[in-house]
Amino acid sequence: MPRAACAFWLSVSGQGEIRTVPLPEPRDDEVVVRTLYSGVSRGTETLVFRGGVPESQHAVMRAPFQEGDFPAPVKYGYLNVGVVEQGPSALLGRTVFCLYPHQTHYAVPASAVTPVPDSVPASRAVLAGTVETAVNALWDAAPLVGDRIAVVGAGMVGCSVAAVLARFPGVRVQLVDADPARAATAEALGVDFALPPDALGDCDLVVHASASEAGLTRSLELLAPEGTVIELSWYGDRQVSLPLGEAFHSRRLVVRSSQVGAVSPARRARRTFADRLAIALDLLADPAFDALITGESAFEDLPRVMPRLASGDLPALCHRIRYTPADG
């Protein structure tokens, strides 16, 4: 077992570095994982990189294996796929997913890793945390057969929601985004696409994930009377205005938040975090999800890649970080 590992740390807001960190001897109930891939979730992680986590949310927004504190220095991330190199025989040699930051090796409780099904390549399994968010959002939303649904915001989370909804029977699903290039992503996921002015209205349900005031306003406009917006965006320290005048009350519209930090109340009595993640990994057997991975870089390049992702100079849904040669 290696005595040290390399980890990506946000040293100050807007600047990261790779540090050598000690790797403690694992306890009997722990596994040692060698990372194959990690993923950068462009929305939340770049907000953290810019130092945009409001002080009131410092405790709430901690990742499961985060080290340090917001705004910096902090080791942050939650999309990690690797191979168990030491641990219980049932896990030894297995490819696993873990909510761990960007690091070459790590030791965690065996209960913190989830085996990746043989039907899901490790290179795609980095999406598990985001597809888990989509599963939770749809537990909250409870779409029905025949619903007219819009997903506003074709980022990583919005595309994951649209990809899952594409498998619902009889629904009309439209992915809405201001970037016309996202039409190709929508096609790969098996859903329709529209620019915001052209989106189909009279929706029973709108899932909003654009993290923009304009997107949330358009989401309300697309609803049928008594329709619901499920708000998945997280705005960090930004203030957002919402048009609650006009026809909001007369049309009896609903805006409801959804957040992956807790299992949806609709399933909390019968499903655990582990159940939810297992569902996400099973869904990832579909190769259509590969459309959500829009770039890849070597781990050593991460300090140069993160500023480009945060600024938008490097467009991305999920940007994959490679630690070993691709597994095909």
CATH number at residue 114: 3.90.180.10
Residue 233 lies in a domain: yes
How confident is the model over 197-252, as pLDDT tens digits? 999 999 999 999 999 999 999 999 999 999 999 999 988 777 888 888 888 999 99
Please check whether residues 154 and 118 belong to one and the same domain. Answer: no
| Full residue range of the structural domain in which residue 167 is found | 133-257
CATH at residue 185: 3.40.50.720
Q: Are residues 170 and 84 in the same domain?
A: no
- At residue 325, the pLDDT reads 61
DSSP of 128-160: HHHHHHHHHHHHHH---TT-EEEEE--SHHHHH
In a domain, 270, yes or no: no
The answer to the question of residue 229 being in a domain is yes
Q: Do residues 77 and 179 both lie within one domain?
A: no
140: tokens are 């909250």
If asked whether residues 150 and 247 sit together in one domain, one would say yes
Residue 315: per-residue pLDDT: 86
- For residue 326, what pLDDT is reported? 44
The answer to whether residue 263 is domain-embedded is no
Query: Given this model, what pLDDT does residue 327 score?
Result: 42
Distances (CA, A) of 176 to 65, 182, 190, 269: 34, 9, 14, 33
Average pLDDT, the chain: 94
Q: How far is Cα of residue 292 from the mean position of the Cα atoms in its chain?
A: 10
Residue 152 CA from chain centroid, whole number: 16
Residue 196 has pLDDT above 90, yes or no: yes
Q: pLDDT digit string (tens) for 71-100?
A: 999 999 999 999 999 999 999 999 999 999
